[in-house]
Amino acid sequence: MSQDNLPENAHLTQRMFNSLLASQRAPLDDLVLHQKQTLQALLTHAAATTPFYREHLSGLTETTGRIGPDGFRSIESIDRARVERCWPGFISQDIPVSHGQQRIVMTAATAGAPLRVVRTAMTDIADAAAIFRHYDNFKTDCSLDMAEIMAPSGYTRRREGRHIDRDHWGHPWVPDCDRGRLHRYSVFSSCADQAAWLGTFEKPFYLRTYPSNLHRLLESAAQSDFADTNILAVHSTGEPVSPDLRETCRLKLGCEIIDHYATAECGLVATQCPESGDYHIQQESCLVEVLRDDGGQCDIGESGHLTLTPLYNYGFPLIRYQPGDKARLSSACSCGRTLPCLQADIHRPEHTLLAGTGVMTLLPGRITSTLDVLAPDARWRLLQVDDGHINFVYSYPRGARRVKESDIVRFLTSEFKHAIVVVCQEDPAVGCTSGGKFSLISSV
C-alpha cells in the first residue's frame, strides 16, 4: 500500500505518535497546561451531551462558563457498579464527527456480566499512538512477528481452546509488507499446546501475554518445547509483574518483560519506563489521580485508589473513574521524560493473593474458566485466610453435581506453584451480597 492510499486514521496515528515522542520530554508545565485544556473540552462535552454528567456537573460551572480545578476536584468519583447502574446515561448523545466511527467494547468480567463501553476511532488512535511510543522507548522492531497469547475477546470467561488468526500489529502507517505479523493463540489452551505453538516460530519474534500465563509457561515442563526459539521481549499487560518473574524471564528466555497498564474502559494509562522501571502516566491522553478513601490526593509513595479521566473518551465519558486498582505516585523519573510516574506495584486487591514468597495475582479469566469446569454448578469464591493459605468456599443448588474437592485443591495448588495451602469449605451463603455482586477473592 502506498503512503497516499493509507486510511486517514493511519496518518492521524502517525502524527499523534510523532507528537507524543516530543511531548514526553516537554517541560512539565507545558504538559499540565495541555492537559488542563483537553480536560476542559471533555468536561464541556460531557456536561452538554450525556444525561449523567448533565445532572452531575451542573452547579460546578464558574462564571466563565468553565469548571475550574476546584470544581473538578469536587466531582464525585465513580466506580464500575455506578457506571453499570446508570449505563445509558454515560453514552454521549452527540459525538463530534471528528471522533470517527463508534463501536462497543466489552470489559473483562470476573463476576457478573462484562461492562459495555463506547469507543470511537479517536480513542483507538490515541491508544495506538501511545502504545507505539511505548514500543519505541524499548527500541521494539515493529517489522518482526508478534505471538499473542491472550483471552480471545474482552469476555474472558469463554472456554474455547485454540483460536488462531493472522493480522499485522506494526505501525499502521507503513506498508503491510514492512509491518510485523500478529499471530494469536488462546490463553485458555494448555501450557503444552502453547509451548508447542511457540516452538514453531523460526525467526526472532516478540511474545505478548499475561504475567500469570508467562509464569505458568516458564514453570511448565513444556518450556523446553520453545527454549530454542528467539523471543526478543515479552510484552505484558493486565496484571502486576513481580521482580521474581522478571528475573525468571531473563534466566529462561534471555529477554526482558515490557509492561503497560491499561483498562478496557479507559485505554492505555501508564507504560513501563525502560530505565527506572516506574510507569509513566500517559499524561497527554489520561488524567491520573491517586486518591485516599476520603477523596483527598495521596502524597508521593502513598497507596490509594487509582482514579482515571480518559481525555479522548467522547463516546462514553468517564470522569474520575475508579477501576478498582490501588497505586502509588512516584517522584520525577531520572530518565529525562517529564511524564509523571506511578510505582510499579499497581494492583487490584480483589485479584491478589498473598502466597508465602510474595504477592500473586490471578488471571481471572483463566482461573474462573477452569474452576467453572471443575465445579460447573457451584457458586464460589477464594478467601484469603492468611499469608499462603486460601479457602475455596462454595455452594451449589440442590440436585446439582457435587464438587470434587480433590480436583479443586490439585488445580489451585499447581496453579500457584508457590507454597500455598488450599482448603475447600462448603458454605451456602457464599457469594451473597446485598448488591448481588461478589469479588473472586476476599480476606477474612
Task: List interacting residues with Zn ion (CB under 5 A).
Answer: 273, 276, 333, 335, 337
C-alpha cell at 47: 456536561
> Which is nearer to Zn ion, 117 or 273 (by Cβ)?
273
> Which is nearer to Zn ion, 134 or 183 (by Cβ)?
134
Can you tell me the distance from the alpha carbon of 442 to that of 303, in angstroms, rounded to the nearest whole number?
Answer: 19
> Which is nearer to Zn ion, 339 or 420 (by Cβ)?
339
Give, in degrees to the nearest 5, the angle at Cα 277 between 271 and 282: 25
> Which is nearer to Zn ion, 94 or 275 (by Cβ)?
275
Min dist CB 123 to Zn ion, Å, is 25
> Which is nearer to Zn ion, 56 or 134 (by Cβ)?
134
Min dist CB 31 to Zn ion, Å, is 14
Min dist CB 277 to Zn ion, Å, is 9
Min dist CB 343 to Zn ion, Å, is 12
Beta strand 181-186 with 145-150 is: parallel
> Which is nearer to Zn ion, 182 or 335 (by Cβ)?
335
> Which is nearer to Zn ion, 13 or 338 (by Cβ)?
338
> Which is nearer to Zn ion, 327 or 363 (by Cβ)?
327
Instruction: Look at residue 251 and give its three-state secondary structure.
Output: helix
> Which is nearer to Zn ion, 32 or 400 (by Cβ)?
32
Min dist CB 134 to Zn ion, Å, is 12
Min dist CB 169 to Zn ion, Å, is 24
Min dist CB 411 to Zn ion, Å, is 40
Min dist CB 136 to Zn ion, Å, is 14
- Confirm if 291 and 304 have CB atoms less than 8 A apart: yes
| Integer CA distances (angstroms), 114 to 4, 175, 366, in order | 40, 36, 16
Min dist CB 233 to Zn ion, Å, is 17
Residues whose CB is less than 8 angstroms from the CB of residue 221 and which lie 6 or more positions away in sequence, other chains included: none
